């Protein structure tokens, strides 16, 4: 059983289209992070959301944390070929002394065609 369900696993779209990636759980997270990973490299942090209902924007990327802190979404507006890559959500579970132990979703492989 996966703690963080990320969907879709694969996304293939045309340049200029919009897309949303979802990350859902039945557990509460004290924070939720989104990473992007390129081939041969480790994940690179894009954003951290910590407050229920929080919305953060990073250029054409919009990140939202659910009110109950159990889910998050990543929305990309007017996708570009340079957005192609693996996107990962990861969270730190609420409660206890997790000290940064990250729980990851399976990832979404995004391909944006010119």
Partner 1 sequence: EAGVTQFPSHSVIEKGQTVTLRCDPISGHDNLYWYRRVMGKEIKFLLHFVKESKQDESGMPNNRFLAERTGGTYSTLKVQPAELEDSGVYFCASSFWGVAGAPREQYFGPGTRLTVT
Our CB check for partner 1 shows the closer of 17 and 38 to be 38
CB of 37 to partner 1, least distance (A): 8
Q: How far apart are CA 73 and CA 96, in angstroms?
A: 25
C-alpha closest to that of 2 among 19, 22, 25, 21: 25
71 and 25 Cβ atoms separated by less than 8 Å: yes
Residues that bind partner 1 (CB under 8 A): 2, 4, 30-31, 33, 40-45, 48, 50, 88, 90, 92, 94, 96-107
79 and 15 Cβ atoms separated by less than 8 Å: yes
Our CB check for partner 1 shows the closer of 53 and 81 to be 53
CB of 20 to partner 1, least distance (A): 20
CB of 75 to partner 1, least distance (A): 22
Measured in degrees and rounded to the nearest 5, phi and psi for residue 81 equal: -55, -30
Our CB check for partner 1 shows the closer of 66 and 105 to be 105
């Amino acid at each position: 059983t996966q703690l963080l369900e990320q969907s879709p696993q694969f996304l293939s779209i045309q340049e200029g289209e919009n897309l949303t990636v979802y990350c859902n759980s039945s557990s509460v997270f004290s924070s939720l992070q989104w990473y992007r990973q390129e081939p041969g490299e480790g994940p690179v942090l894009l954003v951290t959301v910590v407050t229920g209902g929080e919305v953060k924007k990073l250029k054409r990327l919009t990140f939202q944390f659910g009110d109950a802190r159990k889910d998050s979404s990543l929305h990309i507006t007017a996708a570009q070929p340079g957005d192609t890559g693996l996107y990962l959500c990861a969270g730190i579970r609420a409660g206890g002394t997790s000290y940064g132990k990250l729980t990851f979703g399976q990832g979404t492989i995004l391909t944006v065609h010119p």
